[in-house]
A and B are shown apart, each in its own frame.
Chain A
Amino acid sequence: MSTTTAARTAAAAPVRHGGVRLPLAPWLLILPSLLLAFAIIGYPFYQIVFLSVSDVSRFGLVRGFAGLANFTTIFTDSIFLGALLRTAEWTIGVVAGTLAISIPIALVLRQDFYGRGVARTIIMLPWAISLAMAAIVWLWSFNADYGMINATLRELGLMHGSVQWMAQAQTAFPAEIAVGIIVSIPFTTTILLGGLSSIPGDIYEAAAIDGARPWHCFRHLTLPLLGPFINIAVVLNVIHVFNSFPIIWVMTQGGPDNSTHILVTYLYELSFRLGRPGQASAVSLAMLAIVLAFTIVYMRLRRNEAIQ
């Protein structure tokens, strides 16, 4: 989104300098929506900035100006720093895992085979379930006493007894990442399928004539042509996964001993469990800065790559 608007303004700028009259009508026409967008995004943003530099009571009543106290508190808070690191693990784990699984799925689903419609529907179905519901179902599945995961592993003879999946971070956090991957697959596969359908078939025929193996075709044709779509999938997934709250909150609430907290669950706990809206606002501004920085840096890198 941001790139397209940026591109547009960049394209419009020379025209303006060239002395051509600024087209007023389009701006007037989109003014109401601009104002609306500004109100919807701007007001909460202003509120968060305001709260983050205020001394706020547990009920959100502003008691006074606090300067940067909220920020220094959270940046010296070991739980925040742990959550920051874990957010990186969580985001990279889920996004990389999702891509690694979605690309082969998209390649398979592009093939013409009997029952492809059904297969595509099955892949898309998890999308229809709300994230919180999916997390609850997975929590049950990971239940140590009567969950299907332990039961399946026992049936297969892979283990005896039962694993207490959610009892410690070593098992709980990977399990949460796995659930994160599963729920992200439908969206990512959709984007990639769209990308694949835009690649013309004849270049593969040409490559085959030149003696390219399927792996070569994938490595040198499919992957580069899929590049822009993978970019979009990465950026959208990173933003979404970075801010994804329900899975971890439902499954472990960031526990035990804060060992599965990511920033967004910690933010929620600060604000609504511990009643510190000021610090919570500071955390959410930090999150905004991180996502923004990531998006800008990533877009730059990829653009440079494309130019080369």
Chain B
Amino acid sequence: MKLSRKSLLACAAALALSVAGARAASAETVHVTVSYYSAATGPYFEKMAAEFHKANPGTDIKIDVVNWDSLLQQLRTDIAGGTNPDISIIGTRWLLDFVKDDIAEPLDGYMDSAFKARFISPFLQHATIDGKVYGLPIAASARALYYNKDMLTKAGFPNGPATWDDVVAASEKLKAAGTPGFGLMAKGTEVDVYYYYALWSYGGDVIDSHNKAAFDSPAGVRALTLYKSLVDKGLTQPGVTNYTREDLQNLFKQGRVGMVMTAPFLINQIAKEAPKLDYGIVPVPKGTTSSTYAVTDSVVMFKNSKVKQAAWKFLDFLFTKEPRVEFTKGEGFLPTTVAEAQDPYFTDNARLKTFVDLLPTAHFAPTITGWEDTAKAVTDAVQSVYIGQAQPEAALKQAAARADESLGK
């Protein structure tokens, strides 16, 4: 009896304490949702939250780490239920939907020109809709081709392929040696993007200036025909529709495929998991022109937030040099602010420099409603061609018609 009374007292005390604690915190709590990029993401943001709290004891930052695949879904649910965070990381290509539903807060009122000048301007431009900035670019990446140096040297391209003809020639040599040359992904997310690399390199584009699907152009057909011929000739890994981006990266790490196109974060992964792998990075192979794909993720503030000033203060802190460098280094992204780009980590790293140098010719995923539907239509089309159910031109025409149903709506 005595014991239980004692524990009851302890419970009451704990309760009182926690209530007191909640009161102190309720002064201002900023809820932040971040996407899980790697094992380093959570600890990084927790550390930043703690540092910020030390400097601003009145403000508590609550970090919620959400898996990328379920991020949009969770935000949708939260928004519909009115329980959304104050700020969140989102894919910049989703931004228009947020703006259209009047969910995102325009940020121009919070920043002066000095703040704007912190960013590498195309990145900030990308998150600007109708002249208003709605998102701050927090993560950026571009795509390039990784090649296995040992394999490509034997195939006669010690400095990697420069054009699609080189890719074909090298893959044929590698096939004769018994390994697949060109890694092609056709499962999971970004199947469409893998096709866009070739589309852009032939001078095509996904969407034209009237916001209509344009990937069924001759350039698009040529790009898809090229990939299909690689599949048919056995120059890719077998069963391409069975490989996600991660599967392909794993094959590359194991030295089981000669070439793979992906983002800079593979550098960090190889350093950790396959440090002995000798590889180089070159731009996406040239067709008629050279180009790459750039992606940014942005931080948005929600219109219904009650702690906008505190949230902004935290963002201001996140976008100073040291936090930026630590984040970008840890995740293997590309710098989005001018100051971090000057850090020796980025200027002295030849592999990363390949990516940074590509940025001027980079295509961004356009901020347009219906982008996900377009991605789905293109993914279906490419897959149907790879498994031999459809011809490139017919499949692309059909996908364009499907995409047009949703684009801009």
State which residues 36-57 of B face A: CB under 8 Å.
none
Q: Is the CB of A164 within 8 A of B242?
A: yes
* Set B80, B241, B373: member contacting A60, Cβ < 8 A: B80
Is residue B158 contacting chain A, with contact meaning CB distance below 8 A? Answer: no
C-alpha gap A232/B283 in the complex (Å): 61
Q: Does B62 contact A (CB under 8 A)?
A: no
Stretch at the interface among B139-147, B162-170, B304-312, B378-386: B378-386
Q: Which residues of A contact B188 (CB under 8 A)?
A: 253
Query: Quick check: A257 and B384 within 8 Å, CB to CB?
Result: yes
Q: CB distance B76 to A255 under 8 Å? A: no
Chain A residues with Cβ under 8 A from B383's Cβ? 255-257
Given contact pairs A253-B188, A274-B373, A59 touches B79 in the complex (Cβ within 8 A): yes
Kindly identify, within residues 248 to 285 of chain A, every residue whose CB is under 8 Å from any CB belonging to chain B.
252-253, 255-259, 269, 272-275
- Across the interface, which residues of B come within 8 angstroms of A58, CB to CB? 76, 97, 101, 369
Contact with B along A214-243 (1 / 0, CB 8 A): 000000000000000000000000000000
8 Å CB contacts to B: which residues of A86-100? none
B186 interface residue (CB < 8 Å to A): yes
Is there contact, CB below 8 Å, between B101 and A165? no
Is B238 at the interface (CB under 8 A from chain A)? Answer: yes
Interface centre among B79, B186, B239 (most CB of A within 10 A): B239
Chain B nearest CB from A249 CB (Å) reads: 11
Q: Which A residues are in CB contact (< 8 Å) with B240?
A: 167
* B241 and A59 form a contact (CB under 8 A): no
Q: Is the CB of B187 within 8 A of A255?
A: yes
A144, A253, A255, A257: which contacts B389 (Cβ < 8 A)? A257
In Å, the complex CA distance between A167 and B188 comes to 12
In the assembled complex, the Cα of A166 lies from the Cα of B186 at a distance in Å of 11
Q: For the complex, give the distance between the alpha carbons of A272 and B71 in Å.
A: 10
A60 to B101, CA, bound (A): 10
Residues of B within 8 A of A166 (CB): 187, 239, 241-242
**B376 at the A/B interface (Cβ < 8 Å)?**
yes
CA–CA, A150 to B241, complex, Å? Answer: 17
Q: Is the CB of A59 within 8 A of B372?
A: no
**Are B242 and A60 in contact, CB atoms less than 8 angstroms apart?**
no
Known: A256-B386, A274-B373, A274-B376. A57 touches B73 (CB 8 A): no
Q: How far is the CA of A193 from the CA of B103 in the complex (A)?
A: 56
| A121 beta carbon closer than 8 Å to chain B | no
Distance (whole angstroms) from the CB of B231 to the closest CB of chain A? 11
Check B101–A274 contact: CB distance below 8 A.
no
Contact indicator A167/B76 (Cβ below 8 Å): no
Q: Which residues of B contact A144 (CB under 8 A)?
A: 238-239, 242
**Which B residues from 363 to 399 make CB contacts under 8 A with A?**
369, 372-373, 376, 379-381, 383-384, 386-387, 389
Contact B73 A272 (CB under 8 A): yes
The distance in angstroms between the C-alpha atoms of A282 and B373, with both chains bound, is 18
A167 touches B97 (CB 8 A): no
For residue B5, CB closer than 8 A to chain A, the reply is: no
Asked whether B186 lies within 8 Å of A59 as measured between CB atoms, the reply is no
- Chain A residues positioned under 8 Å from B239 (CB to CB): 144, 164, 166-167
Residues from chain B with Cβ under 8 Å of A253 in the complex: 187-188
Task: List residues of A (158-192) whose CB comes within 8 Å of B's CBs.
Answer: 162, 164-168
A61 lies within 8 A of chain B by Cβ: yes
Contacts of A258 in B (CB 8 A): 380
Provide the bound-state CA to CA distance between A255 and B379, in Å: 9
A17 vs B17: C-alpha distance in the bound complex, in angstroms? 63
Q: How far is the CB of B190 from chain A (nearest CB, A)?
A: 13
In the bound complex, CA of A164 to CA of B247 (Å):
13
Q: Which of B75, B79, B80, B387 contacts A256 (CB 8 A)?
A: B387
- B100, CB-defined interface residue at 8 Å: yes
Q: A59-B79, A59-B80 are in contact. Are A256 and B101 (CB under 8 A)?
A: no
Q: A167-B239, A167-B241 are in contact. Are A60 and B384 (CB under 8 A)?
A: no
Most chain-B Cβ atoms within 10 A of its Cβ — which of A59, A61, A269, A272?
A: A59
Asked whether, in the complex, the Cβ of B187 is within 8 Å of the Cβ of A57, the reply is no
Q: Is the CB of B76 within 8 A of A59?
A: yes
- Residue pair B387, A257 in contact (C-beta under 8 Å): yes
Closest to B389 in A: A257
Give Cα distance in the complex from A269 to B389, angstroms: 22
Least CB distance, B145 to chain A, in whole angstroms: 22
Do the beta carbons of B101 and A57 come within 8 Å of each other? yes
Q: Mark B51-91, 1 if CB is under 8 A from A, else 0.
A: 00000000000000000000011011101100000000000
Determine which residue in A145, A162, A164 has the highest number of CB atoms from chain B within 10 A of its CB, and name it: A145
Q: Which residues of A contact B369 (CB under 8 A)?
A: 58
Contacts of A164 in B (CB 8 A): 238-239, 241-242
B residues with CB within 8 A of A: 72-73, 75-77, 79-80, 97-98, 100-101, 103, 186-188, 238-242, 251, 256, 369, 372-373, 376, 379-381, 383-384, 386-387, 389
A-B contact pairs, 8 of them (CB 8 A): A59-B103, A60-B76, A162-B238, A255-B241, A257-B384, A259-B389, A272-B76, A275-B72
The 4 A-B residue pairs with the shortest CB-CB distance in the complex, in nearest-first order? A164-B239, A60-B80, A167-B239, A256-B383
Q: Which residues of A contact B (CB under 8 A)?
A: 57-61, 144-145, 162, 164-168, 252-253, 255-259, 269, 272-275
